[in-house]
């Protein structure tokens, strides 16, 4: 039996509700096989901060680092809650984990499954994956404020782009494209304006593409990419882009793929030096928290990406098949979070009773 050490961070709001279903699906798909999950739960997020004043204690981060993977729900309180003003949960917890664990490949698939209603009236066949750079760009935290609170205030957020950081995510995207039937890679930037970073991206995409002659490469400016994604999303296979462009593009992709309740992601450290982290793209949804109204599918599909990453592609595919079957059979009336989990578990192919 192979034992996988899983760190679970349910977080706030609907985080614990959707993570509970992802865990039930994981148990169902692994039952009777020769893989065992050994879970450790870490209570982190806005609630923890309000209770203890802590965001991510170093000892807990060190303990998380000892795991094979992280399953993450969502963190954050009600936007604008004054008690959370100094917490900076997003930077101090979520981004800190992504940065410190070197999650440079933020993988966000967008597949419009049969039976799912897209935000687009006539989307066509949608099946692409965005590889968002996860550790640098405008997210790097390289900024500051001068003359705070005065009419002369100046705030900077200086984008950091290293050849090393771009090289590795671009290579990862080429490798991803090589495994897919269409073998297409679109890189997205704003090279006409962000000329310094753009030139590094351009040079590295070009040089790495020589190692992947079977992959067709094209380029789009980020603004045009949003037009193409709305008008003809079927043209995309793999997209690789900068951290902030990728953040925006993947919310758009979420809407095209049937909504935020279905959008999954993996924050991958491909070398395995640190545990990778798997999370739905959505937040803690305080407006529906605690009511069993959240769709756990995004969390469940994130667990499937985790299974792939852990070298369990058969199990991952069975989870996706269960999700596909449930989505195809979904009616109009809303179901409880746990009822969707039940239905996906019942639809897992080859389920051992």
Of 41-49, 87-95, 175-183, 192-200, the window that binds ligand IPM (rule: CB under 6 A) is 87-95
- Which whole-number Å values give the CA distances from 170 to 160, 288, 323, 340, in the listed order? 16, 38, 30, 36
Choosing from 38, 90, 153, 157, the residue that interacts with ligand NAD (CB under 6 A) is 90
Q: Nearer Cβ to ligand NAD, position 79 or 114? A: 79
**Buried/exposed code over 215-224 (b: 16+ C-beta within 10 A; e: otherwise):** bebebbbbee
Establish if 74 lies at the interface with ligand NAD (CB under 6 A): yes
Among ligand NAD, ligand IPM, Mn ion, none, partner that 149 touches (CB below 5 to 8 angstroms by kind)? none
Q: Nearer Cβ to ligand NAD, position 22 or 166? A: 22
Choosing from 24, 282, 309, 324, the residue that interacts with ligand NAD (CB under 6 A) is 282
Establish if 87 lies at the interface with ligand IPM (CB under 6 A): no
Query: What does the DSSP 8-state code read for residue 160?
Result: B
Burial zone of 160 (CB within 10 Å; 0-12 exposed, 13-18 middle, 19+ buried) = middle
Instruction: Give the closest residue to 280 by CA, choosing from 13, 15, 6, 17.
Output: 15
Q: Nearer Cβ to Mn ion, position 242 or 247? A: 247
Rounded Cα distance between 227 and 247, Å, is: 16
Q: What's the min distance (Å) between Cβ of 260 and Mn ion?
A: 10
Query: What does the DSSP 8-state code read for residue 190?
Result: -
Choosing from 109, 198, 257, 283, the residue that interacts with ligand NAD (CB under 6 A) is 283
**Buried/exposed code over 242-269 (b: 16+ C-beta within 10 A; e: otherwise):** bbbbbbebbebbbbbbbbbbbbbbbbbb
Positions in the binding site for ligand IPM (CB under 6 A)? 90, 94-95, 247, 281
Residues engaged in binding ligand NAD (CB under 6 A): 14, 18, 74-77, 79, 90, 94, 260-261, 279, 282-288, 294-295, 298
Known binding positions for NAD(+): 283-295
């Amino acid at each position: 039996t192979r034992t996988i050490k899983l760190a679970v961070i349910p977080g706030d709001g609907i985080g614990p509700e959707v993570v509970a279903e992802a865990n039930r699906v994981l148990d169902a798909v692994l039952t009777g096989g020769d893989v065992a999950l050994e879970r450790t739960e870490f209570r982190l997020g806005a609630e923890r901060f309000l209770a203890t004043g802590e965001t991510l204690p170093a000892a807990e981060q060190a303990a998380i680092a000892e795991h094979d993977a992280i399953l993450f729900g969502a963190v954050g309180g009600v936007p604008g809650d004054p008690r959370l003003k100094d917490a900076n949960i997003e930077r101090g917890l979520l981004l800190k984990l992504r940065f410190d664990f070197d999650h440079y490949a933020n993988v966000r698939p967008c597949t419009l499954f049969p039976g799912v209603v897209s935000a687009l009236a006539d989307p066509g066949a949608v099946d692409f994956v965005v590889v968002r750079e996860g550790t640098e760009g405008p997210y790097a935290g390289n900024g500051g404020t001068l003359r705070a609170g005065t009419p002369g205030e100046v705030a900077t957020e200086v984008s950091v782009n290293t050849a090393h950081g771009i090289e590795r995510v671009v290579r990862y995207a080429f490798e991803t494209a090589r495994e897919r039937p269409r073998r297409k890679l679109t890189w997205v930037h704003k090279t006409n304006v962000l000329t310094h970073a753009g030139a590094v991206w351009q040079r590295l995409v070009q040089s790495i593409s020589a190692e992947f002659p079977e992959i067709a490469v094209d380029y789009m400016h980020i603004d045009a990419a949003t037009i193409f994604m709305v008008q003809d999303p079927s043209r995309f296979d793999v997209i690789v882009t900068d951290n902030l462009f990728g953040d925006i593009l993947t919310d758009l992709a979420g809407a095209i793929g049937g909504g935020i309740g279905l959008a999954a992601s993996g924050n991958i450290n491909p070398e395995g030096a640190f545990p990778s982290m798997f999370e739905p793209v959505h937040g803690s949804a305080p407006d529906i928290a605690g009511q069993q109204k959240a769709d756990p599918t995004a969390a469940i599909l994130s667990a499937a990406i985790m299974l792939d990453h852990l070298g369990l592609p058969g199990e991952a595919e069975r989870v996706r098949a269960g999700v596909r079957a449930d989505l195809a059979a979904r009616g109009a009336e809303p179901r409880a979070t746990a009822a969707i989990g039940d239905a996906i578990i019942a639809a897992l192919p080859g389920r051992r009773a």
